[in-house]
Amino acid sequence: MKKLGLIVNPIAGMGGRVGLKGTDYVLEKARALGALPQAPNRTVMTLKELNKIKDQIEIVTCSGDMGENEAKKCGFKTRVVFASPNRDTTKQDTFDAAKKMLEENVELLLFAGGDGTAIDIYNAIGEHLTVVGIPAGVKIHSAVYASSPKKAGELTLLYLQDSVPKIKEVEVMDIDEEAFRRGSVKTRLYGYLKIPYEKRFLQGKKSGSVMSDQASQELIAFDIVDNMKEDIYYIIGPGSTTRPIMKLLDLPYTLLGVDLIHNKKLIKNDLSEKELLEEIGRKSCKMIITPIGGQGYLFGRGNQQISPDVIRKVGKENIIVVATKQKIQSLYGRPFLVDTGDVELDKQLNGYIRVTIGYKEQMMYKIES
Amino acid sequence: MKRVNRNYKVRNFHQAKWDEPIIFELSKRGERGVLVPQAEDEIVDLVGDGVSKIPASMVRKEAPKLPEISQPRVLRHYMRLSQMTLGADVNIEIGQGTCTVKYSPKVNEQLARMPEMTELHPLQHESTVQGILEIMYKTDLYMREISGMDRFTFQPSGGSQAIMTMASVVRAYHKANREADKRDEIITTIYSHPSDAAAPALMGYKIIYIHPDKDGYPDFEAFKAAVSEKTAAFIVANPEDTGVYNKRIKEFTDLVHEKGGLCCYDQANANGLLGVTRAKEAGFDMCFFNLHKTFSTPHGCGGPATGAMGVIKELEKFLPAPLIDFDGENYFLNYEIANSPYAVGKVRLFNGVAPVVLKAYAWIMSLGAQGLYEVAKVAVLNNNYLFKKLMAIDCVDAPYTRGKQRVEQVRYTLEKLTKDTGIKTEDIQRRMMDFGMHYWTSHHPYYVPEPATLEPTETPSKEDIDEYIATLEHIFKEAYENPEIIKTAPHNSVCHRVDESGMDDPKQWAITWRSYLKKSTT
């Protein structure tokens, strides 16, 4: 019997149809405008894909619309391990439910919701469980979601049948909904969740199998470390692509923060803008950053500590961009973006930059503001 | 208005299924195919027994464990295997993508199988191999005329090795100019063949890739930003894998020359260029042809290959020795350049794959200059016929230079089909096997979403191309109406769906029978 965790955020997606661009803080308003729950139906669509192995699965879930109803509706053996004390479920419920799933040690956690849900799940379980997201929210910036509920089901089925050998870490992102309602898009990187990596790129006749993201990232790290110069300060930006550099140097790192190293030794983890400016002062400095997958932002998303002042101090010629080929491919030719908040600086950053994509492998890529 | 043609005819096809064991499993102790005669006393007296001179450390302790099997069983075994594959001689070869696979006239195969060829030995005295030396020498002359280069070598046994040889010449050239330490970068494009990056990378060069601009041409502004005093060379295919021909190529090569680098042309696939453009006029210092593609000998994986590699006069002294020369009376192997301190060492033990060079020579001789030009024209015509027909199908598209013609191949995208039906390009690849057809996607990663790369060459008739299109249309229709049949394909092949997970798992890899036994029993 395989234990499949299931958490449904029943209110996710309710703001979308009624034009509220999200459901955070505006649930009542959405209801008043006639919004209906989206997530339960979408979850059912996903679970239907698992019919084939229905007898081999136990669904470990939460009471009512948070999973129990959907699982039972589809005829699964269901066990409720969490019950929400609230009439309308909250962020805290998602968080607590996910903590339960961690205790239950489920093989895979299936959850339905939007970007906010993904963040709550991430906060509860970090990288300890593998998840699949059923897209049911208004905003789906996070790459944790399958492209459709049906696809989420197919992927879960493959995973439970042990046909997905690889796990990939993907970005958990969200935008500031308040700002979004005012018309400005501000995304933030919260962390990374582990998803099954569907082997989209099956072996073709003339090419070897695709190198895993992790192997590509390690190659990049070897290139960077082999070329590190003495007496230069290196600012290591956030992200899963820069992390292997710190791992290779055997240094502690912050996945979402900015770290500073000198002569392959750690100066400090998780620096703020102010600390960065103080530490680098007039010293020679290089900066290693990676674009956000799928979006291509180099500055202004997920690494706001690297402010216009910091960038100016380091200098464009000392910016080292790292990205795997797969990450570049995910942009489908769209340029890198910069949104530092300083229009002049953004303009100066425009043009072509060398991106390290492997060991002794670079790609010329365009930056546009 | 795009439409789907529903009046196609799709051929019935089924592979033979023999459940054939591998040859080691057929082995039966003591069974023999051939009894090798003992050397006669007279010969032993003259040259020795041929074994006792081998140093003791190199002599096997026991006989190799080769399969022991009779002749008819060997024949049956391989005949059966041949029936279980998608052979080039039984299907329409349009879908091999970046590999030109054209018909090789059988008469050329017969030539290559003459005892005069098959019994040649590379260590024979020059005086006894004048015939093949003459053919290699003359093939060199033809290659010069086709490309504008000044000297060719047939030493590389394939395209990637020819690229490696080009990169070796690049390194030798910069070494001679005392710039080898400074120049450590090779520039290429993402739509050139991956070997253009992989081979020089293996030699330690840093590889810089150029992305295409919105029209699919290598981005010239990015290129300008990449070329520097560190540039050792620019290695590029043109047309690239997308089938887009970079008409500004001379500006690229000029820029590299200005900065002191060399320009190398990957002409593995020159099928649309014969008699139309030449490497020299495009500003290249080196190029290579895959004789096993463009010059109509079977494709590399299906038979021995040769990467014929040529250079301009100034670079001749860096070529791997020996070259073949003619002194007015005799053809001979010229080792003179081996004395140069900068010469590239041998890239292969012996010179060329003689039967492949002979077949290419025969093909060129049978066509003549006009014929080669005709080949290019028909290949381009066939491709654009296919292009136009496929683009009329709703779910097929091709990025870049919309409305313009392509050279001899096109990289299509089935993104719409995937969005509509969930059927991916790899699924189509497997379903095409059910109709006895090849279909190739693209190198990884997929820069063109859900790609398909098709190249008809000059071989297929209009009817053949129509049949290929009809088969594709049939499968597209299935994708919308009965996707399950595609997802579970192939149905008519010997193996249905192969579990490829082992490909990523070193614990399961077995590239020899012995390692298979070891890994499968532990």
- CATH code, B206: 3.40.640.10
Cis peptide bond upstream of B355, omega within 30: no
CA dist A129 and A272 (Å) reads 30
Whether pLDDT at A202 is above 50? no
Give pLDDT, residue A170. Answer: 80
Give pLDDT, residue A209. Answer: 45
Give pLDDT, residue B193. Answer: 93
Taking the CA atoms of residue B239, residue B244, residue B247 and residue B251 in that order, the dihedral angle to the nearest 10 degrees is -70
Which residue of chain B has the CA closest to A205? B440
Give pLDDT, residue B107. Answer: 95
- Lowest mean pLDDT, pick from A24-33, A45-54, A206-215, B151-160: A206-215
For the residues A330-351, what does the mean pLDDT come to? 90
Which residue of chain A has the CA closest to B221? A352
Q: Same domain for B329 and B419?
A: no
Contact B207 A362 (CB under 8 A): yes
Which residue of chain A has the CA closest to B218? A364
Confidence category of residue A139, pLDDT binned at 50, 70, 90: low
Q: Same domain for B36 and B157?
A: no
Give pLDDT, residue B304. Answer: 80
The domain tally of chain B equals 3
Q: Same domain for B150 and B68?
A: no
Residues in chain B: 522
Contact A354 B426 (CB under 8 A): no
pLDDT tens for A58-115 read 999 999 989 999 999 999 999 999 998 877 788 899 999 999 999 999 999 999 988 8
For the residues A342-364, what does the mean pLDDT come to? 95
Contact B204 A362 (CB under 8 A): no
CB nearest to A203's CB, from B226, B445, B503: B503
Q: Same domain for B355 and B420?
A: no
Q: Hey, what CATH class is A2-201 in? A: alpha beta
Q: Where are the alpha helices (DSSP H) in B354-504?
A: 354-391, 415-421, 425-433, 462-481, 483-487
The answer to whether the beta carbons of residues B268 and B287 sit under 8 Å apart is no
Q: Same domain for B356 and B463?
A: no
3-state secondary structure of A47: helix
Distance from the Cα of B444 to chain A's closest Cα (Å) equals 7
CA dist B184 and B179 (Å) reads 9
Tell whether A81 lies on the interface with B, counting CB pairs under 8 A.
no
Quote the ipTM score: 0.83
For the residues A214-230, what does the mean pLDDT come to? 94
Rounded CA Rg of chain B:
25
Tell whether A206 lies on the interface with B, counting CB pairs under 8 A.
yes
Whether pLDDT at A3 is above 70? yes
pLDDT in tens, chain B (522 residues): 555 555 557 888 888 989 899 999 999 999 998 888 888 999 899 988 878 888 989 988 888 889 999 999 999 999 999 888 887 788 888 988 888 888 889 999 999 999 999 999 989 999 999 999 999 999 999 999 999 999 999 999 889 999 999 999 999 999 999 999 999 999 999 999 999 999 999 999 999 999 999 999 999 999 999 999 999 999 999 999 999 999 999 999 999 999 999 999 999 989 999 999 999 999 999 999 999 889 988 776 556 889 999 999 999 999 999 999 999 999 999 998 888 888 898 898 888 789 999 999 999 999 999 999 999 999 999 999 999 999 999 999 999 988 889 999 999 999 999 989 989 999 999 999 999 999 999 988 888 999 999 999 999 999 999 999 999 999 999 999 999 999 889 999 888 877 666 666 677 778 888 888 888 776
The answer to whether the beta carbons of residues B456 and B379 sit under 8 Å apart is yes
3-state secondary structure of B215: coil
Q: Which of B242, B418, B444, B498 to mutate: most A Cβ within 10 Å?
A: B444
Q: Same domain for B74 and B130?
A: no
Q: Same domain for B77 and B120?
A: no
Give pLDDT, residue A198. Answer: 64
Contact A364 B223 (CB under 8 A): yes
CA dist A113 and A194 (Å) reads 16
Which residue of chain A has the CA closest to B422? A151
Distance from the Cα of B452 to chain A's closest Cα (Å) equals 11
Which chain B positions have a beta carbon within 8 Å of A357's beta carbon? 209
Q: Same domain for B252 and B356?
A: yes
Dump the DSSP string for B45-78.
HHH--SSTTS-GGGS-SS--------HHHHHHHH
**Residues of B numbered 175-234 whose beta carbons fall under 8 angstroms of chain A's beta carbons: which are they?**
190, 194, 197, 201, 204-212, 214, 219, 221-223, 225-226
Confidence category of residue A183, pLDDT binned at 50, 70, 90: low
Higher pLDDT among residues A148 and B103, named by residue: B103
CB nearest to B210's CB, from A163, A360, A364: A364
Tell whether A147 lies on the interface with B, counting CB pairs under 8 A.
no
Q: Same domain for B36 and B138?
A: no
Which chain B positions have a beta carbon within 8 Å of A329's beta carbon? 445-447
CB nearest to A326's CB, from B204, B211, B445: B445
The answer to whether the beta carbons of residues B491 and B497 sit under 8 Å apart is no
For the residues A16-30, what does the mean pLDDT come to? 64
Q: What is the mean pLDDT of chain A?
A: 85
Contact A366 B449 (CB under 8 A): no
Each domain of chain A, given as residue ranges in start order, spans 2-201, 213-368
Q: Is residue B508 part of a domain?
A: no
The answer to whether the beta carbons of residues B210 and B202 sit under 8 Å apart is no
Domain final position from B328, B363, B398? B363
Q: Is residue B70 part of a domain?
A: yes
Task: Count Cβ atoms within 10 A of the Cβ of residue A361 and give its class: 0-12 exposed, 13-18 middle, 19 or more buried.
Answer: buried
Which chain A positions have a beta carbon within 8 Å of B99's beta carbon? 206
Q: Is residue B373 part of a domain?
A: no
Give pLDDT, residue A99. Answer: 94
Tell me the CA distances in angstroms from B128 to B114, B119, B134, B361, B492, one per residue in order. Answer: 16, 12, 12, 20, 51
> Residue B495: which residues within 8 A CB-CB, separation 6 or more?
none
Distance from the Cα of A158 to chain B's closest Cα (Å) equals 13
Which chain B positions have a beta carbon within 8 Å of A367's beta carbon? none
Domain interval for residue B35: 22-49+63-83
Give pLDDT, residue B291. Answer: 92
Whether pLDDT at A349 is above 90? yes
Q: Same domain for B419 and B289?
A: no
Helix (H) or strand (E) holding A73: helix A68-73
Distance from the Cα of B430 to chain A's closest Cα (Å) equals 10
pLDDT tens for B287-313 read 999 998 899 887 765 568 899 999 999
**One-letter amino acid identity for A58?**
E
Give pLDDT, residue B301. Answer: 59
Q: Is residue B504 part of a domain?
A: no
CA dist B338 and B317 (Å) reads 9
Q: Is residue B57 part of a domain?
A: no
Is the whole-model pTM more than 0.95? Answer: no
Give pLDDT, residue A203. Answer: 31
